[in-house]
């Protein structure tokens, strides 16, 4: 297990994928290097923007016997991870922390317990909120356990999931309109994006660029509009994908 992966290498490799299966193989390969060898991608809501209906485990490497049992028991309707992914929260979280956030019912606790018994250990979920209320989600887990993740690795997993979602949407949309619109962003907007990519807050970026925090917020709102995204991490990932920025 590697301590880290080369995110730029992951972006370059995933961008070459021609099918959802090829894209998933790329993600699975890189996440396995972090000890997370079980991955699942779901469309939590219908996605009219790419003409796709909601589906749990659209692509996955979760144990098939667990997935069959999960569907048979109707766990889609009571899984607390799914409930939290579709809530307002917009960052990665550990499955285990749900008991500290919600008052889980006996059935909800049972879903998490049985998932662990099925070999899904150290579970992490990444909500992927899009425009128009579209929500997807990514689940990561280990079949061996013992995965230690610090704040930086969790941010890396978050970025990997967002990159996957962007490329997945692009692949599914092929044949409808293969043109990729590359927006024009200003030099200052590129500076802001590059500092966002390093994890700097708006306040920190304002100090670095000698501008007000309001000005940084103004630039970010313009960036979101131009890139058609609604989060900082998605803006950075999409900008890298479109070769608009090269992180420091």
Distance CA 141, CA 116 (A): 9
Q: Pick from 173, 199, 220: which residue ends a domain?
A: 173
What Cα–Cα distance (Å) separates residue 49 from each residue in 153, 177, 180, 193, 195? 31, 12, 15, 26, 30
Give the lowest-confidence range in 16-20, 52-56, 231-235.
231-235
Return the H-helix or E-strand segment holding 96: none
- Predicted confidence at residue 248, as pLDDT, reads 60
The string of DSSP letters for 177-216 reads ----------HHHHHHHHHHHTT--HHHHHHHHTS-HHHH
Distance CA 94, CA 169 (A): 25
State whether 164 and 211 are in the same domain: no
Residue 46 lies in a domain: yes
State whether 152 and 29 are in the same domain: yes
Residue 139 has pLDDT above 60, yes or no: yes
Report the CATH number that the domain containing residue 193 is assigned in CATH. Answer: 1.10.10.10
Mean pLDDT of the chain: 88
State whether 160 and 196 are in the same domain: no
- Predicted confidence at residue 180, as pLDDT, reads 54
Distance CA 101, CA 85 (A): 13
State whether 166 and 234 are in the same domain: no
Q: Pick from 146, 173, 200: which residue ends a domain?
A: 173
Residue 177 has pLDDT above 50, yes or no: no
Q: Write out the residue range of the structural domain in which residue 193 sits.
A: 187-241
Distance CA 90, CA 13 (A): 26
Distance CA 178, CA 200 (A): 34
State whether 51 and 153 are in the same domain: yes
DSSP symbol at 76: G
Strand segments (E) across the chain = 38-43, 55-60, 93-94, 121-129, 135-142
Residue 123 lies in a domain: yes
Provide mean pLDDT across the span 82-104.
84
Return the H-helix or E-strand segment holding 245: none
Give CA torsion, residues 73, 74, 76, 77, to 10 deg: -130
Distance CA 19, CA 125 (A): 23
- Predicted confidence at residue 178, as pLDDT, reads 41
**3-state secondary structure (DSSP) of residue 48:** helix
- Predicted confidence at residue 243, as pLDDT, reads 82
State whether 169 and 94 are in the same domain: yes
* Count of structural domains, the chain: 2
Residue 211 lies in a domain: yes
- Predicted confidence at residue 238, as pLDDT, reads 83
State whether 41 and 71 are in the same domain: yes
Residue 182 lies in a domain: no
Residue 131 lies in a domain: yes
The residues that bridge with 52 in the sheet, in sequence order, are: 47
> What distance, in Å, lies between the first and last C-alpha atoms of the chain?
26
Using CB atoms within 10 Å of the CB of residue 66, give its burial: 0 to 12 exposed, 13 to 18 middle, 19+ buried: middle
Provide mean pLDDT across the span 51-57.
88
Identify which of 163, 168, 157, 151 has the alpha carbon closest to the alpha carbon of residue 50.
168
- Predicted confidence at residue 245, as pLDDT, reads 84
Beta-strand relationship, 121-129 and 135-142: antiparallel
Residue 63 has pLDDT above 90, yes or no: yes
Residue 246 lies in a domain: no
Residue 180 lies in a domain: no
Residue 101 has pLDDT above 90, yes or no: no
For the chain, percent of residues with pLDDT exceeding 70: 94
Report the CATH number that the domain containing residue 60 is assigned in CATH. Answer: 3.30.450.80
Return the H-helix or E-strand segment holding 150: none
Which tokens is 215 given? 């000005």
Residue 88 has pLDDT above 90, yes or no: no
Answer with the residue of higher pLDDT: 122 or 227: 122
- Predicted confidence at residue 39, as pLDDT, reads 97
């Amino acid at each position: 297990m590697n301590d880290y992966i080369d995110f730029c290498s992951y972006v370059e490799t995933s961008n070459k994928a021609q099918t959802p299966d090829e894209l998933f193989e790329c993600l699975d390969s890189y996440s396995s290097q972090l000890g997370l060898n079980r991955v699942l991608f779901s469309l939590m809501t219908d996605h009219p923007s790419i003409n796709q209906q909601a589906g749990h485990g659209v692509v996955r490497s979760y144990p098939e016997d667990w997935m069959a049992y999960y569907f048979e028991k109707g766990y889609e309707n009571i899984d607390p991870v799914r409930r939290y992914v579709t809530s307002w929260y917009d960052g990665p979280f550990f499955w285990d922390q749900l008991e500290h956030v919600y008052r889980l019912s006996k059935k909800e606790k049972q879903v998490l317990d049985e998932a662990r018994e099925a070999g899904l250990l150290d579970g992490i979920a990444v909500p992927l909120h899009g425009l128009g209320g579209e929500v997807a989600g990514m689940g990561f887990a280990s079949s061996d356990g013992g995965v230690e993740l610090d704040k930086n690795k969790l941010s890396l997993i978050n970025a990997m999931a967002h990159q996957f979602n962007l490329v997945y949407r692009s692949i599914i949309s092929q044949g409808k309109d293969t043109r990729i619109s590359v927006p024009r962003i200003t030099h200052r907007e590129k500076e802001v994006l590059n500092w966002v990519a390093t994890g700097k807050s708006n306040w920190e970026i304002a100090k670095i660029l000698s501008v007000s925090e309001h000005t940084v917020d103004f630039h970010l709102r313009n960036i979101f509009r131009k890139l058609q995204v609604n989060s900082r991490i998605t803006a950075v990932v999409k900008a890298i994908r479109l070769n608009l920025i090269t992180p420091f």
